[in-house]
Amino acid sequence: MRSDRLGESLLPKRYALPIFASDPLSSVAYATQEILIVLTLAGTAFLYLAPWLAATVVVLLVTVVLSYRQVVRAYPSGGGDYEVAMKNHGPAAGLVVASALLVDYVLTVAVSVSAGTDNVISAFPSLNEHRVLIAVALVGLLAAANLRGLRESGRAFALPTYLFISGILVMLVTGFIRYFFTPDGLVAESSGYTVIPEPGYSDLAGLALVLFALRAFASGCTALTGVEAIANGVPAFRPPKSKNAATTLALMGGIAATMFAGVTALALLADVKYTEFTCDLVGFQGDCETDPQRTVIAQLAAAVFGGDGSLGFYVIQAATALILILAANTAFNGFPLLGSVLAQDRYMPRQLHTRGDKLAYSNGILLLAGFAALLIVAFDASVSRLIQLYIIGVFTSFTIGQWGMVRHWNREIGLTDDGPERSRMRRSQTINFVGGSLTSVVLVIIVVTKFTHGAWLVLVSMPLLIVLMKAISKHYSHVADQLAPDTDSRTLPSKVHAVVLVSKVHKPTLRALAFARATRPDQLTALTVNVDDEDTRGLQADWERYDIPVPLTVVESPYREITRPVLDYVKAIRRESPRELVVVFVPQYVVGHWWENVLHNQSALRLRARLQFQPGVMITTVPWQLESSVGRDDGDARGAGPAPGDLRRGFTEDDVESTPYG
């Protein structure tokens, strides 16, 4: 990393906002709807709760944003809640956060894609029967794009995000004007429907009513998902990084709060009805068993801009679907980032940390897409069913992170004597304390109200992930213990015995012999295995004919196979002189096409696989490049391009292109 160039290539705030805000902003597309879905379980009797619940969500959102502004200032390295938990509560808490975030990424993909599909279907209702297929195909497309090396780019992401923000704001303003200043007012297509309460929800009172309201509130808390993204992306900001990140966070919070409050208000004014079961809607036009309700956003857009056919309606639907897809895409970028951090701490395979191994990223992308697709299929791409699982992870990481910050400030305050500094810290601590308290309460509410609705799945998955990560960590430290250098490990072997494997007298064999001789071993054996008497006699004749200056040793093969006799020969050398180093030279064909491997090299591969278990034996591959392999060495530039999550780490395009190797 050349630090002199870093400044120029990092993200200005106007590009950082679309990159990091597509996830939190996109939740505006479903948060209001999720509150309505719960409330309308009891008919329209409790819709009056909606403004209060929305207001509470906005207060919570503001609190969480303020809390995270403390995080980005205190931990500018981009570790986010995971780092905060690790440093202040220790590894156990860190792993809980990590598992919560991993689950969260899968659900971000599943929920965002499902919601995007909903909004596509709202524009083109005939697609409804293919709902699950469309959602799975979108996940597949995202996975494919990221496998191919789709690069996050501020410029490309800016258009849909700003289009969504401005579209929703224009819709809100136009909607309020219509409602207050036009004679017809604002009438959603579902305003005339009556809602039949579900059995058991008609006479809610006392504790049941409180739980019911809390459940609706918990659903509304989906508006907060994705807020933590900026805390993980501080390194991508231009300096002063923390300050710019904090400003962007505030900006994002303000926009999200405005949009969420506005959409909720407008939906209530326009009298939108949205129920979990379409057949609870009396007056619904169409077959309530099969036809879909249109999303709240779609109903508002239609009401505001004058019906389904209007340009405004299509623009809003397109922008909404697009930003939801972008939100899903952020998970594909956030996942490798988290994987890298976890790998650095040895909780994930280490190749997730080293950039070179694209294979590891590819596996991550496939896992993420696979689990998301599984959830989509299992839950019929239903946003309201998936959402039950979503926010547990989010609020787990919120809560642990905020309490970690409280502890962080405690420690920091103890380290300074500067009065104003201490009182500034006390203020920050208070913010985090309030944030932590609120999110703790919300987390309890979520677990209680959502557990039976699917959240148990998440509460089962997280411990499993934690166990897996602990096992990986244990494996690595066990290996590290084995590998620690001791006095013995630097002893030089006394002699080198080279063994060149020979099957025929041809160029690869001659090259292997020449190379082996060039290394001037103390002893050099050309070894062949007698699988077929006739072939062996031919080889011996050729050996004499070409006057090869190394004696040819023939070993017998009782089972007509190659590996074991060689292995036995090598073992015998080691038995006789244990301090002697054996170097086995294996000529190997290098082919240009995968199918050529079917025709060559099988024995060499097997032999190498077995020889490596012998201590004191090195295996030297002497490659022979067949014609078909020419020009293949740089054929694929795997590992040489940008990888998912690079932008978020502050590894940008300009940066790598400026290197002499680019």
Per CB under 8 A, contacts with a second copy among 574-593 are 581, 583, 585, 588-590
Instruction: State the minimum distance, in angstroms, from the CB of residue 551 to a second copy.
Output: 16
Residue partners of 306: CB distance under 8 A and separation at least 6: 312, 313
Long-range contacts formed by 10-14: CB under 8 A, 24+ apart? 10/236, 10/237, 10/238, 10/239, 10/650, 10/652, 11/154, 11/236, 11/237, 11/238, 11/647, 11/652, 12/154, 12/238, 13/237, 13/238, 13/244, 13/247, 13/248, 13/251, 14/154, 14/158
Can you read off the two tokens belonging to residue 20? 């990091």
Taking CB under 8 A as the criterion, the residue among 567, 569, 574, 653 binding a second copy is 567
Instruction: State the minimum distance, in angstroms, from the CB of residue 87 to a second copy.
Output: 17
Q: Which of residues 6-65 bind a second copy (CB under 8 A)?
A: none
Comparing CA positions, the residue from 22, 36, 41 lying closest to residue 265 is: 36
CA distance 548 to 90: 66
Q: Which stretch binds a second copy (CB under 8 A): 167-175, 364-372, 447-455, 602-610?
A: 602-610
Can you read off the two tokens belonging to residue 628? 């078909």
Using CB under 8 A as the binding rule, whether residue 468 contacts a second copy is answered as no
Taking CB under 8 A as the criterion, the residue among 148, 155, 490, 575 binding a second copy is 490
Output 426 or 504, the one with its CB closest to a second copy: 504
Using CB under 8 A as the binding rule, whether residue 181 contacts a second copy is answered as no
Instruction: State the minimum distance, in angstroms, from the CB of residue 269 to a second copy.
Output: 53
Q: Which of residues 347-386 bind a second copy (CB under 8 A)?
A: 349-351, 354-357, 359-360
Instruction: State the minimum distance, in angstroms, from the CB of residue 584 to a second copy.
Output: 10
Taking CB under 8 A as the criterion, the residue among 61, 392, 622, 647 binding a second copy is 622
Q: Which of residues 191-210 bind a second copy (CB under 8 A)?
A: none
Using CB under 8 A as the binding rule, whether residue 598 contacts a second copy is answered as yes
Taking CB under 8 A as the criterion, the residue among 233, 334, 454, 508 binding a second copy is 508
Comparing CA positions, the residue from 94, 22, 33, 67 lying closest to residue 439 is: 67
Output 70 or 603, the one with its CB closest to a second copy: 603
Using CB under 8 A as the binding rule, whether residue 627 contacts a second copy is answered as yes
Using CB under 8 A as the binding rule, whether residue 517 contacts a second copy is answered as yes
Q: What radius of gyration do the chain's Cα atoms show? A: 32
Residue type, 655: D
Instruction: State the minimum distance, in angstroms, from the CB of residue 479 to a second copy.
Output: 6
Q: Nearest 5 degrees, angle CA 135-CA 342-CA 450?
A: 50
Comparing CA positions, the residue from 522, 558, 526, 524 lying closest to residue 539 is: 526
- 3-state class of 586 per DSSP? strand
Whether omega for the bond prior to residue 240 falls within 30 degrees of 0, making it cis, is yes
Taking CB under 8 A as the criterion, the residue among 54, 223, 327, 562 binding a second copy is 562
Taking CB under 8 A as the criterion, the residue among 506, 539, 553, 650 binding a second copy is 506
Using CB under 8 A as the binding rule, whether residue 173 contacts a second copy is answered as no
Output 109 or 622, the one with its CB closest to a second copy: 622
Output 89 or 511, the one with its CB closest to a second copy: 511
| DSSP code per residue over 31-84 | HHHHHHHHHGGGTTTTTTHHHHHHHHHHHHHHHHHHHHHHHHHH-TTS-HHHHH
Q: Which stretch binds a second copy (CB under 8 A): 153-161, 426-434, 439-447, 652-660?
A: 652-660
Taking CB under 8 A as the criterion, the residue among 559, 575, 576, 594 binding a second copy is 559
Can you read off the two tokens belonging to residue 352? 């997730």
Taking CB under 8 A as the criterion, the residue among 6, 511, 569, 577 binding a second copy is 511
Taking CB under 8 A as the criterion, the residue among 540, 550, 618, 653 binding a second copy is 618
Contact 125, 291 (CB under 8 A): yes
Residue partners of 202: CB distance under 8 A and separation at least 6: 42, 43
